[in-house]
């Protein structure tokens, strides 16, 4: 898949879009769509860097005391999508470097590295090649 850049002068190669199973609004019986009915399902595609994906995962799941190495791919992708819904792509983009900045803190380094490994499992197209 390709698209044109903001100035529409340079084509940008994009990885294939990742399908979603999570649909906000009908995932919980308390959602408004169960009471009022679904009028439309809107699909939003967001191009994200590896750092943005890790921040989104951390925003939604970072407060848990679970090990990110135990999370399965559907859970990781759902967490990223939920963070996009709640925090928005612009906030996630602004915070994109926060986890890398925190890598200097020995107390959270292993957790952050596990978060990146989780992202690499869920979005292997972006995973670094080789033994990193």
Q: Cα–Cα–Cα angle for 89, 17, 55, nearest 5°?
A: 35
Q: What is the pLDDT of residues 16-74, one digit of tens each?
A: 778 776 777 766 677 777 777 777 877 888 889 899 999 999 988 876 778 999 999 99
In a domain, 10, yes or no: yes
In a domain, 96, yes or no: yes
Q: What is the pLDDT of residues 95-115, one digit of tens each?
A: 877 888 888 888 888 999 999
Tell me the residue range of the domain where 21 lies.
2-126
In a domain, 131, yes or no: no
What are the two backbone dihedrals, phi and then psi, of residue 67, each rounded to the nearest 5 degrees?
-90, 120
Domain count across the chain: 1
What predicted TM-score, i.e. pTM, was given to this entire model?
A: 0.77
């Amino acid at each position: 898949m390709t698209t044109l850049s903001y100035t529409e002068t340079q084509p940008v190669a994009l990885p294939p879009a990742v399908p979603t199973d999570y649909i906000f609004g009908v995932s919980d019986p308390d959602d408004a769509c169960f009471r009022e009915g679904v009028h439309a399902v809107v699909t939003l595609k967001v191009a994200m860097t590896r750092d943005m994906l890790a921040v989104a995962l951390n925003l939604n799941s970072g407060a848990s005391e679970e090990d990110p190495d135990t999370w399965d791919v559907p859970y990781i992708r759902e967490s990223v999508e939920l963070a996009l819904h709640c925090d928005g792509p612009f906030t996630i983009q602004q915070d994109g470097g926060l986890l890398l900045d925190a890598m200097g803190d020995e107390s959270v380094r292993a957790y952050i590295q596990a978060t990146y490994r989780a992202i690499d499992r869920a979005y292997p197209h972006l995973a670094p090649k080789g033994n990193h």
